[in-house]
Structure 1
């Protein structure tokens, strides 16, 4: 069975975009792949997190993974910080990349531009160095595939390059992973600005649906979503980004193709389409929230994380020992 690996940061509340793009696909993958999924809480340290919020967001994220249908018997689910080898391998691999390579990473360049805009040149070193930790996260487990959105493919490409560099210098050690980009739902956009990704840090909150928000609020956000002056429900991402984004959500949650959706609303306006979509989103949120509440009350999260860390730790221990022997860090051969 092929192995697949992914991680998600516990910063901010989980959005419908996170659910559709990252969490929900894993439920279908878990029967076909050996899944390793971690909560990337070390990566959350690149910017300050209020401790109580980080703790709650981490717990919520794990509970939502399980509520979505991930089976701990099929999936290895753990906290990144519980497997100490991540940070150690991250340092070794950090010594194998150049400052030029790290400075070309999109996230770092975005932070530089934001710093310039606010006339503040102070950018945390974690923002610059985090791709090396991400390289370790990926390469530690020799995955065949790493599912990513279009905006994250750059990270997998860097991991591939570092793996090839290490293998060339020290002999075959890491598997070269392949990025896996979903055809639909990889990047759900803001409901108010369909040219921007749905973000946890949405300044108004109107463009973002949070998985644990009251259902009626989420329905209202769907009804108020930006579309266009046309009234034809048609998928055209370039010319009709707003309605296309809503159709993407509809397609994923109700298992219908764009062609089927277009046929269903032929001759009907956006109002009826939005009303139906609001009900579909509401039903999905209700199902997940009911499961979430049961999981939070059960106390099973700690057990799942403990078991996941043990399984991941066994793989990580062997890989790190192999890396250290190859590099000469340890005197053992």
Structure 2
């Protein structure tokens, strides 16, 4: 028996499945196996301290981070506060956000015993390497990056830091001689800059840096509940658009119930023609570990109002232990600071000798 998917959406569904399979294959091709079998592999990724993540952050990146820390013996995750100040920040608010992000990562399943979790600004080698690499990077190359074009228009040209932060991203990666970086599709061009800078340095000063490879996440992008054509975002002015990992069960039930759908009651997956319902299906699949096909099949006979209750229950089941962990860890500020300090010390053990070699090759030593 066929799945209850619209006939005119089969082509779109097959394309979505094909795209998912390609992304999954790309992800698995670069994914580390046991570190003893793949010596020299190292993963690096960073996240800005924007406070408690939302559901899209978790399903799009953090859930993947949790899996990667057990898949490779050398993994570094950084809370990139140097990147955060490319936009104006209230100092007290920034500090709270750093600790909130730390609590959130731990609650999501990041374990300092299995990776290095640290605050970027506590390892000054990031900034020094960024300066050195910036001197090897042309201004036209940075102007080519799409995020600069977008953000500079919003900020009327923006700051020097906003312009050069892709170089700092490259320094974050290369400082640890990282070989793999988990990225979304919108970050691939910034990783290509890191690859370019590694080649330029290696050509000028002899081989030192590997060219880092992308680990493309196979996770589906989660859309806004109020505008399913846009990504779920923490900065969305509509309160009901975004599910935060600290939302209560009632909050989640309300937001899902108010999610934009359409006037067709049947549950189908058709992102082009039915983006709202398809977004709920994608969320349901992601939090339950099922495929889209399984979710649509399980929802046969339900109208969208009843299906929203099912989705809310599934989201709550996934989010509840994370929410409880965040609440508990937020009250343990001293412990969070200790985690970050110990992580920074471990990160510096790796960073110091690599930067020393860079300084020697450049001619500083």
Q: Which TM-score applies when normalising by structure 2?
A: 0.85
Whether 1:69 and 2:109 are equivalent positions in the alignment is: yes
Alpha-carbon contact 1:222-1:277 (below 8 Å) kept: yes
CA distance in 2, matches of 1:182, 1:122: 32
CA distance in 2, matches of 1:147, 1:237: 25
**Residue segments in structure 1 that go unaligned for 5+ positions in a row:** 116-120
Q: What CA deviation, in whole Å up to 9, does each residue of 1:121-175 have, x standing for no partner?
A: 3521111111110110011112221111111111111111111111111111111
1:311 aligns with: 346
Aligned to 1:173, what secondary structure does the other structure show?
A: coil
Q: What CA deviation, in whole Å up to 9, does each residue of 1:61-86 have, x standing for no partner?
A: 10011111111110100000010000
2:20 aligns with: none
1:118 aligns with: none
- Identify if the C-alpha distance between structure 1 residues 180 and 254 changes in structure 2 by more than 3 Å, giving closer, same or farther: same
CA distance in 2, matches of 1:238, 1:323: 50
Count of aligned pairs between the two proteins: 324
Measure how far apart 1:248 and its partner are. 2.1
Alpha-carbon contact 1:250-1:280 (below 8 Å) kept: yes
Aligned to 2:111, what secondary structure does the other structure show?
A: coil
- Identify if the C-alpha distance between structure 1 residues 12 and 291 changes in structure 2 by more than 3 Å, giving closer, same or farther: closer
Measure how far apart 1:257 and its partner are. 0.8
CA distance in 2, matches of 1:321, 1:297: 39
CA distance in 1, matches of 2:179, 2:282: 27
CA distance in 2, matches of 1:110, 1:205: 24
Alpha-carbon contact 1:12-1:200 (below 8 Å) kept: no
Measure how far apart 1:241 and its partner are. 2.5
Residues 1-333 of structure 1 aligned to structure 2 (within 5 Å): 1=35, 2-33=41-72, 34-115=74-155, 121-185=156-220, 187-298=221-332, 299-330=334-365
Measure how far apart 1:182 and its partner are. 1.3
Q: What CA deviation, in whole Å up to 9, does each residue of 1:22-73 have, x standing for no partner?
A: 2222112211112210000000000111122111111111001111111111
CA distance in 2, matches of 1:241, 1:178: 32
Alpha-carbon contact 2:245-2:319 (below 8 Å) kept: yes
Alpha-carbon contact 1:148-1:180 (below 8 Å) kept: yes
Alpha-carbon contact 2:152-2:158 (below 8 Å) kept: yes
Q: What CA deviation, in whole Å up to 9, does each residue of 1:298-324 have, x standing for no partner?
A: 442122112111111011101111111
